[in-house]
Amino acid sequence: MSRSCSCLLYLLLVINAHVTTAEERPRRRLKLTDYEASQADSAAHDDSVALRRSGLTGTPEPGYQAAAFRVPTLSGEFVYQPGAVTSGSVVIHAFTNKSAFLECLWSTEASLSSLVEDLPASAQVLFLSLDDSSVSDALWMRERLHNAAMKRSQKEVLSRLHFSPVPVFALGNWIPSVLYSWACTGHNCGLAQTVFTSQGWKMPVIVKRLDARYDWLMGRWGQWWYQLKDAGDGCEPSPSVAGSVAWLSEGNCSFFTKIQNMAKSNASGVLVFAEPGNSIQEMNCVGDECLSLLGLPASMVHLEPSVIHALRSGLPVNVSFQTTPSPNFFIGIDQQGALSEMGWFLYPTFSFVNWQAQWFDFYADLQLKLDLPATVIPVFDKVQMQGDKGAVAVVNLPPDLSGFDTLLLDASLSCPGRRDSSCPPWDHTVQLFVCCDHLGPYCNVELGRWITAFRRGIGRWQTDVSPLIPVLDASKCTFTMKTVPWAMPWIVSLNLRFSAANLTNLSGNHTEKLRPFRVMSLYSGGTFNKTYNKRYLPIKFPVPASTKKVELYAVITGHGSDENGCGEFCVTSHHFLFNGVHSNCRTFDSAGSALGCTERVKDGAVPNEHGTWLYGRGGWCDGLPVDPWRVNVTGQLELSGFESNTVLYFGLFGGKDPDPSQQPGYIIMSSFLIFYK
């Protein structure tokens, strides 16, 4: 056991040194900090609004129960009745063609097809228009989705899509006030616009714009005037645009080529205009293009004849950029009837609606699980977790744990206010440590790990940590939940849910399950550099008498960013070799993939966060617990007598020892052998 004790000590040192530094990120992550900082004011504002309106007669806030409403639709009426068994979740979307983001959301085939193909079966969508053109908007939206559904033989979904010809301002229910008071900024909110001025114009010309996607385009428009210069189709560099914004036609080469050419020409930014009759598109990179980061802002707009005329006449044209506030375009109602924000749509696709609706499904399912019988021990009830101290609680456990074979952590991370804008930025690691017997071998073992949901306050999850029941080795335990000291406060709640799974087995069978009785600490992580594996030596261990099963239990996450994106965005593999021959390996295949973490929304990954929550990561996702990795290794061990077994851990990148040339990343790992009898 002395070996495992020293491992434990090392584990604690590593954790203290590296709890997490999300600031050590790929460059593309950094620019959000500027943007996020500018949002702090709106967060403060939201809180005061929430306070003022917290009375029942005020505007409903997220989390309030949605009141009943009826809205006329093209095919009759949409009726929302709280508590109706069949209600499922509802997404309300208010369209306005003043937003280029929404124009693109509605014109991109991939966006429409994602809605008709992937809207969860429990969800309905009510489409509204904010404008006087609501009748033609409703007919147009219905036609677009009907066509998309018919093309893909997705007829069923149409019965769950409802189109209202009544404009938002004439609805006469709570929807308008929620849309207007939940106003927000960011990707799917506000009206992003371009302002042109020229000599002889009485008024500026103001048009909607859609900015290119930020994860490859680093630049942002400044708060000043630029000069606009015509540069044709931009398929060749054009020295005349140096220091100006280039005005380019679409087509003849990719958006990326245009922007790259203008970057080479030292332009300050790029405006691409759609050919007449074409919609505004989202300018993005394709394939290998995405490996090159470009440093200048770019947007797409509609062709503006007065601008072309002025440029062709040799008149100077100035351009600047603004965002005019708008109402929110989305409201969610979850399956329990609670109002919910829909979060950030990072780019124009209805996939973000689907992801939020998937999360409503996950959450409804979680509620059912939380209704199952269990002995519930509250640890934190809406406690602030911040600073070095984190959140700490001393808790009495049930006097006899031997009747339980299951321990679930029911944890939630919410925010100081009801709005997501009050939530802290960044995806930091949160760790739960427990110490019961201060002199025992298990004091300050990591019991659970989560990652915060970047600017979203809806996360709640249940994690099965049953194999670690033996670390609760005294009746009074101290629980400490921590994130990095510089993170803004999160509000944490945590319940321990003890149960005897064999008693709640629905089939009524009372098969005796094996129970964990001893936990042996193995390895912890550390700096993922060339000598990462040098510090791991084989551990010899006997299997205690009467053991019936041995399990490997490991919680592993990769963080930081070397030149390969390791360990957050690179594919690492983690190997536990037993007795020199039996290899058990976990590979973080989806790390760095564009949509890896969207696949985990159905498992509870909070969708539509700020930041780049969609990318796959090294063993984790934003707004999700870290899954313990469990392997039954009984068959790989010598169980009988005094035979000694060995285990050795190593971690690889690309099948080899890591060998970063700069800023190595790091691995946070807790690993154990669990002995059952």
Ligand X SMILES: *[C@@H]1O[C@H](CO)[C@@H](O)[C@H](O)[C@H]1NC(C)=O
Residues that bind ligand X (CB under 6 A): 97, 103, 140, 197-199, 225, 232-233, 239, 242, 249, 251-252, 265-266, 302, 316, 318, 403-405, 500, 502-503, 507, 509-513, 515, 527, 529-531, 549, 632, 634-635
d(CA 420, CA 397): 34
- Shortest Cβ distance from residue 658 to ligand X (Å)? 9
Q: What residues form DSSP beta bridges with 575?
A: 585, 650
The residue (of 403 and 485) whose beta carbon lies closer to ligand X is 403
DSSP 212: P
- Shortest Cβ distance from residue 417 to ligand X (Å)? 35
The residue (of 85 and 203) whose beta carbon lies closer to ligand X is 203
Token reading at 67:
């009141």
The residue (of 511 and 640) whose beta carbon lies closer to ligand X is 511
- Shortest Cβ distance from residue 86 to ligand X (Å)? 31
Question: Between helices 134-151 and 109-118, what is the axis angle to 10°?
Answer: 70
- Shortest Cβ distance from residue 232 to ligand X (Å)? 6
d(CA 655, CA 207): 52
- Shortest Cβ distance from residue 529 to ligand X (Å)? 4
The helix (run of H) or strand (run of E) holding residue 106 is helix 100-107
d(CA 47, CA 45): 5
The residue (of 313 and 502) whose beta carbon lies closer to ligand X is 502
The residue (of 127 and 613) whose beta carbon lies closer to ligand X is 127
The residue (of 488 and 500) whose beta carbon lies closer to ligand X is 500
- Shortest Cβ distance from residue 92 to ligand X (Å)? 19
- Label the pairing between strands 516-528 and 429-435: unpaired
Number of H helices, E strands in the chain: 11, 32
CA distances in angstroms from 543 to 202, 353, 518, 538, listed in the order given: 87, 51, 10, 16
- Shortest Cβ distance from residue 76 to ligand X (Å)? 23
Token reading at 439:
């002199």
Radius of gyration, CA atoms only, the chain = 28
Q: What residues form DSSP beta bridges with 463?
A: 409
The residue (of 89 and 198) whose beta carbon lies closer to ligand X is 198
Read off φ and ψ for residue 537, nearest 5 degrees.
Answer: -115, 155
Read off φ and ψ for residue 133, nearest 5 degrees.
Answer: -85, 25
The residue (of 265 and 429) whose beta carbon lies closer to ligand X is 265
The residue (of 345 and 404) whose beta carbon lies closer to ligand X is 404
Give the residue from 123, 127, 124, 138 showing the smallest Cα distance to 175.
127
- Shortest Cβ distance from residue 631 to ligand X (Å)? 9
- Shortest Cβ distance from residue 240 to ligand X (Å)? 9
Q: Which residues neighbour 305 within 8 Å (Cβ) at sequence distance 6 or greater? A: none
3-state secondary structure of 504: helix
Q: Which residues neighbour 79 within 8 Å (Cβ) at sequence distance 6 or greater? A: 68, 69, 70
